[in-house]
Amino acid sequence: MGKIDQLVVAVLEAWLEGKVSKAPGAKTGWDNRCMPSLTPVPASHWKLSVAPMMDWTDRHCRYFHRLLSKNVLLYTEMVTTGALLHGDVARHLRFNAQEHPVALQLGGSEPADLARCAKLGELWEYDEINLNCGCPSERVQRGAFGACLMAEPQLVADCVKAMVDVVAVPITVKHRIGIDKNESYEFVRDFVGAVSEAGCPTFIVHARNAWLKGLSPKENREVPPLRYELVQRLKAEFPGLNIVVNGGITTPEQVAEQLRGLDGVMVGREAYHNPWWLASWDAAFYGAEPIAELTRETVEEQMVHYMAQEAAAHGTPWSSIARHMLGLRHGLPGARRWRQVWSDHKLKDLQPRDVMLLSHSEVQKTA
């Protein structure tokens, strides 16, 4: 940990020392004068979001997505409490001011650790802190968090309570509809009931079970069947909560249909692989005027500018940024050749602007 990180953590420790009791889940030692004033967050905050995706939705990807939609809510990749409390805080939490609204997703199951990390997230000015209760990976299970937390609603409630007690930004939970072969609605209902009572008003529900044994994380996003009706039932049973659906949503028609009954739709893989779709969201779902200047070319141009800035400020190679925009020309003639140029490591010593010019001349050749 760098000196500044150590300082931030020390200040945070001191701050929390005075505000929250040590025992997780126990009655907190809040001094009422220090209670955060909870700012009401409009439900439209969750209307459309891009899902947290490990190794994909880093700050470069989020910068790119923000160029496409001014309104969509963006999520970070999951950051574990261990990585934040013992690692390089700035590396995990730094983001571009343009990314707002942006939510930090945490992975962990220790209420006191999560409280510290939520506070760090708030200090870094994230707009929301989300707890991951949906990741099925074996590594995450060994850490006793992610989807296996759904079997312990009281522990999740303690985690939520510990975070709600120390931050004013919204705390949300992302979870599945069940684990393993337990398909009962009551399981997810009781989970949402217990966790909402602890102070979480917003649930992002990936509408399939997580099978904790025998499936890879990738298979766990494809094999267990989608059951949107359970998400609708949650909304009917808890009309006062914000219920956001996730999983398998790839078309504007699906988004519109889900928004008729629910508070929001979170899109993952389709947003990543077909990012130009995001460019229509502000007009289609937020009532914004279409922006004539917003074209694939202007977005690419802005990304080239960003690549040069990032290289100058942090020495970031352009390929670490370009990899997130490879789907920009999805479905257009020449898209494959354009993608090949932008992912060609032999060009790594070229300036991004020259790579762009090369990619355009290659696309022309395929016309």
Ligand X SMILES: Cc1cc2nc3c(=O)[nH]c(=O)nc-3n(C[C@H](O)[C@H](O)[C@H](O)COP(=O)(O)O)c2cc1C
DSSP labels, 88-138:
-HHHHH---GGG-SEEEEEE---HHHHHHHHHHHHHTT-SEEEEEE----H
Binding to ligand X by residue 80, rule CB under 6 A? Answer: no
Interacting residue with ligand X among 16, 53, 104, 279 (CB under 6 A): 53
List, in order, residues 6 or more apart from 117 with CB less than 8 Å away: 79, 81, 84, 85, 106, 108, 129
CB of 20 to ligand X, least distance (A): 25
Nearest Cα neighbor of 199 from 158, 235, 173, 161 is 161
CA distance 256 to 274: 18
135 is catalytic: yes
Site membership for ligand X, residue 196 (CB under 6 A):
no
Please say which residue, 155 or 266, places its beta carbon nearer to ligand X: 266
CB 50 within 8 A of CB 65: yes
By CB under 6 A, tell whether 51 contacts ligand X.
yes
Nearest-angstrom CA–CA distance, 366 and 210: 44
In angstroms, the CA 35 to CA 165 distance is 7
C-alpha R_g of the chain: 21
Contact stretch for ligand X (CB under 6 A) within 36-44, 49-57, 115-123, 188-196: 49-57
Min dist. Cβ of residue 138 to ligand X (A): 14
Nearest-angstrom CA–CA distance, 242 and 234: 10
Catalytic pick from 133, 135, 148, 200? 135
Report residue 14 as tokens. Answer: 């001191």
| Window of 5-13, 48-56, 59-67, 253-261 that interacts with ligand X by CB under 6 A | 48-56
Residues from 211 through 230 that contact ligand X (CB under 6 A):
221
Considering only 248, 264, 275, 352, the residue that binds ligand X (CB under 6 A) is: 248
Q: Interface with ligand X by CB under 6 A: which range of 8-16, 128-136, 191-199, 352-360?
A: 128-136
Least separation in angstroms between residue 112's CB and ligand X is: 22
Smallest CA-to-CA distance from 243 within 258, 224, 227 is with 258
* Piece of the chain touching ligand X by CB under 6 A; list 51-59, 163-171, 230-238, 357-365: 51-59
Integer angstrom CA distances of residue 128 from 20, 40, 121, 209: 20, 12, 8, 25
Considering only 69, 71, 81, 105, the residue that binds ligand X (CB under 6 A) is 105
Q: Check residue 246 for interaction with ligand X (CB under 6 A).
A: yes
# residues near ligand X by CB under 6 A: 23
- Minimum distance from CB of 25 to ligand X (Å)? 23
- Letter for the amino acid at 204? I
Q: Which residue is nearest to ligand X (CB)?
A: 268
Task: Catalogue the active-site residues.
Answer: 135
Q: Which residues bind ligand X (CB under 6 A)?
A: 51-56, 77-78, 105, 132, 134-135, 174, 206, 221, 246-249, 267-270
